[in-house]
Structure formats: structure tokens, C-alpha cells
A and B are shown apart, each in its own frame.
Chain A
């Protein structure tokens, strides 16, 4: 009897938050999805009772293949490269800092605070500071002159140079290629671990993908009637530097916590077996930090996908080379009055973030049950 009453009390206690979440998160997600399949954003969009028609997937098709939405497609490309660089560099720098601090005999608290401090700043503040530092005529570019060297010439945020360009009309081809690379890396991981079953399934999928790519089916599907080049904008480096500066301290804290949970017995056992300091790090510490890396990727990844304030503060709203979908979403909705298109971008962002988070949640739930 007691346990049933407990359950009742528990249910009553969480009920308000379930109701609030239901309305303010899931209700509004549903509302956004509903708006995204309408044409809300025609002339009288701001009426009290706007005239809204259902248009199906037109907004989505427009975003991926409409002539005027090339900005959105460059945004997606920017977001892809930004996420890759930001997550990769943050992990690397975070791990490096954590390892170094872990070795320190003294001053650990001091350095931990120093590196963690940037995280306490708002992204807008970080953006403004770095905007100043990356001014082509000042900040970082004049640093070399202090040592008597010529001033730096790189235009940082204002560069319009592009590399790794690709034709958007063949986007399926490139997506297939990206999936292939990821699977091949995973297969290599399985091979190293000696997981033969998983390795075999991955290799089969890879072979199929290689076949598809080689057959050239995907290059025959053209999303656009004309070539449209997108690529990696060098101006993104400035944004990546600022973002890594802000978040690598946080990654460091995660790794540091991870290093502390590794029982000393394991290291001692390795030492008894005659492992060197580096070998302990490589074969004991690093493998045990894997779960930390997984959660760090999810946390940093969803920050990268949703990034808005940092770029808005650093490069302003209309700087094409550093723009991301979240900025275009804001501008389309609140400046251009195209509420339906803005909602569609929002839904696309939600799907991308879910692609990152859902596998992680599923994975952590299943290991939790085990």
C-alpha cells in the first residue's frame, strides 16, 4: 500500500513539470511544424487573423532547391564545417589541457579556474571581444609587429575566400561520400577492437555505398538546374577560434573529472606490468575516457548546430561567409516576415540536433538497463 501511495505522490509532484513541458516544448514544436507547411508570410502576415494556406512541403523544397534560398544552403555548409572544426578542436584542446593539468604538482586549482573562466562569459561578450581582436587592422594581426615581424594580413572574419567547394546540385553524392567515410572510420575502430561481427556488417554497407558511388546514379540526380558552388569559407576560422576559446575549458573540466574517476589500482597494475608513463596514458587513461568524449561530442555538437549569438555578435546578421541556419531563421521570421519559412528552418535544425542526440540517448538508456 505504502508503495502505491508513494507512486501517487511522485506522479502528482512531476505532473506540473510534465504539463508545462508538454505545452511549452512539445506543444510549440508541434505548432512550429504546423506553421512550416503553410504559406504564412505573404503580404498581410502581421494581421491579427492572417490568411494562411496549407502548402505541403513547398517551404522545405524551396529551402533546398529554390533559387533565392542559396543563402540557406551556404548556411548549412557553414554549419557543417563549423561543427566539425569546433567539436574537433574543443575536444583536442580540452584533452590536452586536462592531461597537462592532471600532471601538475601545484597550481591545479588556479589553472583550472583560468581555463574554465571563459565559459562563464556570455557568447555575446565573447563574440564582441573576439570581433575586436580579429580586426584586420588591429588585435591579433598586429601582434607580430611587437617582435619586429611584419603585421599579419589574414582578413579573419571578412575574408571571402572559399575552399573545398562543391556543387550543391550533387549534394546526395557528397552526403553518400560523408556517410561512407564515417562508416569506414567506425569499421576501422571495430577492427582495432577485434569485433568481427560488427566489422563485417559495416564493411558490407560500405561496399554497397562504394557501389552506388561508382555507378554514378547519384550524380545524375540534380537538385538544381544550374551549378551552385558552396564550400568552406575561410572567414569561419575566426568564429571557430572564439568558440573553441570559450568551450575548450569546459571540455577540459569534463576530461579532468573523467581522469579523476579512473581508479589508481588500474594504473598501479599497469605500472607493475612495466608500462611506461605514456603507455599508461595511451592504453589505460584514453580508452577509459571514451564515454566522456561521447557526451562531450553531444554537448558541443548541439551547441554548434544551434549557434546564433556568437556569430551575430562577431559578424553581424548579414555576413554571408559566416552565416548559419539559426541566423537566417531569425531574419526570415522577424525581419522578412516569412514566418512559415522561418519555421521550416527551425524544424530542419531540430531534426539535425535530434540526429545527434537521439542515438546518444538510446545508447545510454540501453547501457543503463543492462
Chain B
């Protein structure tokens, strides 16, 4: 029996397409150096991405340059010496937003990716609020691989029922519930080392100021010495009265552990805590542990994101572009994020691949107002963040709202916030 002509035609077309595909992929060969601080728990997620890349572009050898420890402090130091020495990696992990823009974009070390966004149609699948945080007037600077939520409050539903406490919707409600918990010998809110205090602070600031004024802090339109901004510190100080005294000795995991062990009622942490409780502590989302938006921030999604950009003058530009394309794709995002315990930055991700917490986060991501995190580099540059850690520690010691506001304003001026 003869093969019908259309089948032959289709076969030839297919072969041509495959050939071109192969040619296109063959242009991408050599090496690709990926610089990140993802080891430990996040290691497998990165490995999955690298596997996928190596399958798509078999001609490329991927060099996985990971600098571990200190949640990126060490990696950033190594990256800076390499960049200053004129030896940029092909692409590097960086917190999306001002941490990238304030350090690398203003120094003209990054390539504008607007053309890639247009070519891949990403302008339509990433939320506009997110694009806003990633961009300056001159361009879009990185491709976000994941989205984490910062303003999440965690608790154990069974414990709350036992103590007769509800989930507070506002900080006023929290301050009403807290003394009752304290009377039972329960710490109302657990906090860890310095950065987790800043993490709590940004949730309080968002609740007290509301999303618009919160954003105005970062554009310089709202002064740190304004009554509203001082009020943030005052309420923050009130809340700190109901936290554990050994906070500086605790990592964020230990602060979460306090809630799980029933020593504390609530903890405000980024949603990597969900991953920690689900994967490491084997708790079931929803019943084993519960979550809500931090008090007063319902309907607002405070985001942070790891992203990759394209450094000017990297050795393997084409390979890096192929990497970025894969990161931004629906498939790439859905490969990485279920393993990392974060959600896809795209609004069209396949929710079936995610667990219960992440599904709820992804639904909020599509509908909520989006603002950026301070503690994780979205809204302020590195100089501000570095000095804000000092402002925070001064406040933790003195609890003086006015002094903290003055210091924060001085830091904002020195680091060029809103300039």
C-alpha cells in the first residue's frame, strides 16, 4: 500500500521543522555559567531547571556556580568582586526590583530585556504591578523565576481553638487577643533574628499605611518623619511587647518551630515557611498548620522574587538568553516552583502541580493588589537595606519611634530613595 501524499508532505515538513529546530538549538553551544546561592533545600529545584536546560540544549555544558550560606550575603560579595574585576557570570540570581536596579542597573552592568519580553509575550502573562517593580523608565531588567509572598501569618488551628483565640484581621484585634494569650503563658507572636524583625515591620507598615502610602515611602513622596510613618514604628513597638525575648538568637525556622510546638500563637514569615512545615515538618497545609494574610493586609500581596538577568559583556550571551527564555516559560516556571515551594510569576500556570497552600497563594497572586517587600530587596536599594538593619536594631534596643523615624529618613536621603 502506498503512503498517502499528505503524510509524506507532513513528514518532510516535520523533518524540516525538526532540522531547523536542531539548527536553532545547535547555535546554542559551549558553556553557560549560572551563579546563585541556591544550595541546600533549594538545590533540587535549581537542578531540575538545569536538567531541563541541558535536555533542550544538549550542546551546552552548564556550570553551576553556587556560593552557599548567609541567605545570599556571601554570594553577593563574591558576585561583586567578580563584576568589579570584569568577569561577570553568564547570568546570576538576584532579588527582583531595587536590589538589582539600585546596584547593577544604575551601574550600566545589565542589558535591557524589553525586547525579550515582547518577543515572548511576557508583558501579557506577568501582572502589570510586577512588571512595574522590575522596570525603570529605561527598560525591564530581569526575568522572575518565582514569587514568594511576604505578608503571611502562620498558626496551628487546633492550638488556637484550645486557647480560645481567633485569627486577628487587624493589628488592633491582635493587640486585644495578645494579652489573653500572654496570660496563658503563650507568646502571642514569635520573631527571630534581625531580618525577621524587618520582615515583620514591612507587614505592619503595609497594614498601617495601606498599599498606596506604603509605595510612596519608596518613591520619596511620603516622608519617614510624617505622622503616619511614625505611627508605624509606634504600633510596631506595641506588637514587639508581645514577642519572645530571645528573638536575636533564633533563626526563622526556630521562630516557626515555636508556633508548631505550641509555644507561640502566631508567626509572620514569607511563604517559604509553608514549604518548611510541609516538607520538613510533614504538616498538612490547612489542618496541620493554617495561614492568613498578615493582619490588615487582606487583598494585598506583598511579593518578592528571585530573578535572573543578562549582565553586559557576559561570555556566553546566546546561551544565557536561552536560559532566560526557559525561565520565563510556563513550563520552566512550573518545573521550578513546586519544588522550591513558591508560585509561578505567570498568571497562566498549571495549578494542579502545586499543593494547597501554593494554590491559594497563586489565586491571590492573580487577583490581589501587588506591592514589593523591603526585607527582600524589591522596593529599596542595597545601601538603604544595609543601613535599615542598623535602624531596626537601634529601635529594638531603644523602642523610640521618633528616633527610628529620624534615622530612617536620614538613611533614605543618603541612599537616594526617591531621587
With A134-B249, A320-B390, A320-B397 as known contacts, state yes or no: A47 contacts B382, CB within 8 Å: no
Is the CB–CB distance between A158 and B70 below 8 Å?
no
Chain A contacts of B390 at CB under 8 A? 68, 70-71, 318, 320
Verify if A61 is at the interface (C-beta below 8 Å from B): no
Verify if A304 is at the interface (C-beta below 8 Å from B): no
Q: What's the Cα separation between A31 and B383 when bound, in Å?
A: 23
Verify if A202 is at the interface (C-beta below 8 Å from B): no
Q: What's the Cα separation between A137 and B190 when bound, in Å?
A: 14
Q: What's the Cα separation between A318 and B388 when bound, in Å?
A: 10
Total number of A-B contacts with CB less than 8 angstroms?
Answer: 111
- Chain A's closest residue to B80 (CB) is A334
Name the interface residues of A60-117: CB closer than 8 Å to any CB of B: 67-68, 70-71
With A68-B407, A320-B390 as known contacts, state yes or no: A338 contacts B383, CB within 8 Å: yes
Verify if A156 is at the interface (C-beta below 8 Å from B): yes
Q: Closest CB of chain B to A350's CB: distance in Å?
A: 20
What secondary structure prevails in chain A residues at the interface with B? loop
Verify if A267 is at the interface (C-beta below 8 Å from B): no
Q: Closest CB of chain A to B407's CB: distance in Å?
A: 7
Other-chain residue from A67, A160, A318 in contact with B195 (beta carbon distance below 8 A): A318
Is the CB–CB distance between A318 and B83 below 8 Å?
no
Chain B contacts of A319 at CB under 8 A? 193-194, 248, 393
Q: Closest CB of chain B to A162's CB: distance in Å?
A: 8
Chain A contacts of B86 at CB under 8 A? 48
Is the CB–CB distance between B109 and A46 below 8 Å?
yes
Verify if A44 is at the interface (C-beta below 8 Å from B): yes
Verify if A135 is at the interface (C-beta below 8 Å from B): yes
Contact indicator per residue, chain B 380-404, by CB within 8 Å of chain A (1) or not (0): 0011011101101110110000000
Chain A contacts of B246 at CB under 8 A? 135-137, 155, 158
- Chain B's closest residue to A156 (CB) is B249
Verify if B288 is at the interface (C-beta below 8 Å from A): no
Chain A contacts of B383 at CB under 8 A? 41, 336-338
Q: What's the Cα separation between A179 and B76 when bound, in Å?
A: 41
Chain B contacts of A315 at CB under 8 A? 248-249
Is the CB–CB distance between A44 and B107 below 8 Å?
yes
Verify if B108 is at the interface (C-beta below 8 Å from A): yes
Is the CB–CB distance between A320 and B394 below 8 Å?
yes
Is the CB–CB distance between B249 and A44 below 8 Å?
no
Is the CB–CB distance between A336 and B77 below 8 Å?
no
Verify if A157 is at the interface (C-beta below 8 Å from B): yes
Name the interface residues of B337-387: CB closer than 8 Å to any CB of A: 382-383, 385-387
Is the CB–CB distance between A67 and B397 below 8 Å?
no
Q: What's the Cα separation between A336 and B103 when bound, in Å?
A: 9
Verify if A259 is at the interface (C-beta below 8 Å from B): no
Q: Closest CB of chain A to B256's CB: distance in Å?
A: 15
Verify if A170 is at the interface (C-beta below 8 Å from B): no
Q: Closest CB of chain A to B138's CB: distance in Å?
A: 13
Chain A contacts of B249 at CB under 8 A? 131, 134-136, 155-158, 315
Verify if B84 is at the interface (C-beta below 8 Å from A): yes
Verify if A331 is at the interface (C-beta below 8 Å from B): yes
Verify if B326 is at the interface (C-beta below 8 Å from A): no
Other-chain residue from A47, A155, A335 in contact with B386 (beta carbon distance below 8 A): A335
Q: What's the Cα separation between A365 and B416 when bound, in Å?
A: 52
Name the interface residues of A316-334: CB closer than 8 Å to any CB of B: 316-321, 330-332, 334
Q: Closest CB of chain B to A72's CB: distance in Å?
A: 9
Q: What's the Cα separation between A44 and B108 when bound, in Å?
A: 8
Chain A contacts of B102 at CB under 8 A? 43
Name the interface residues of B194-210: CB closer than 8 Å to any CB of A: 194-195
Q: What's the Cα separation between A155 and B245 when bound, in Å?
A: 8
Verify if A45 is at the interface (C-beta below 8 Å from B): yes
Q: Closest CB of chain B to A361's CB: distance in Å?
A: 32
Other-chain residue from A45, A47, A330, A336 in contact with B387 (beta carbon distance below 8 A): A336
Q: Closest CB of chain A to B15's CB: distance in Å?
A: 47
Verify if A50 is at the interface (C-beta below 8 Å from B): yes
Other-chain residue from B77, B247, B394 in contact with A158 (beta carbon distance below 8 A): B247
Is the CB–CB distance between B397 and A160 below 8 Å?
yes
Q: What's the Cα separation between A8 and B248 when bound, in Å?
A: 60
Is the CB–CB distance between B387 and A136 below 8 Å?
no
Chain B contacts of A45 at CB under 8 A? 103, 107
Is the CB–CB distance between B386 and A316 below 8 Å?
no
Q: Closest CB of chain B to A234's CB: distance in Å?
A: 12
Other-chain residue from A131, A155, A330 in contact with B77 (beta carbon distance below 8 A): A330
Is the CB–CB distance between A68 and B107 below 8 Å?
no
Verify if B104 is at the interface (C-beta below 8 Å from A): yes
Q: What's the Cα separation between A155 and B250 when bound, in Å?
A: 12
The 3 closest A-B pairs by CB, nearest first: A336-B386, A318-B194, A334-B77
Chain A residues within 8 Å of B, Cβ to Cβ:
41, 43-48, 50, 67-68, 70-71, 131, 134-137, 155-158, 160, 235, 315-321, 330-332, 334-338
Can you give 10 A-B contacts (C-beta < 8 A)?
A: A47-B108, A68-B407, A157-B248, A318-B194, A318-B393, A320-B394, A335-B77, A335-B385, A336-B385, A338-B383
Chain B residues within 8 Å of A, Cβ to Cβ:
70, 73, 76-77, 80, 83-84, 86, 102-104, 106-109, 193-195, 245-249, 382-383, 385-387, 389-390, 392-394, 396-397, 407, 410-411, 414, 416
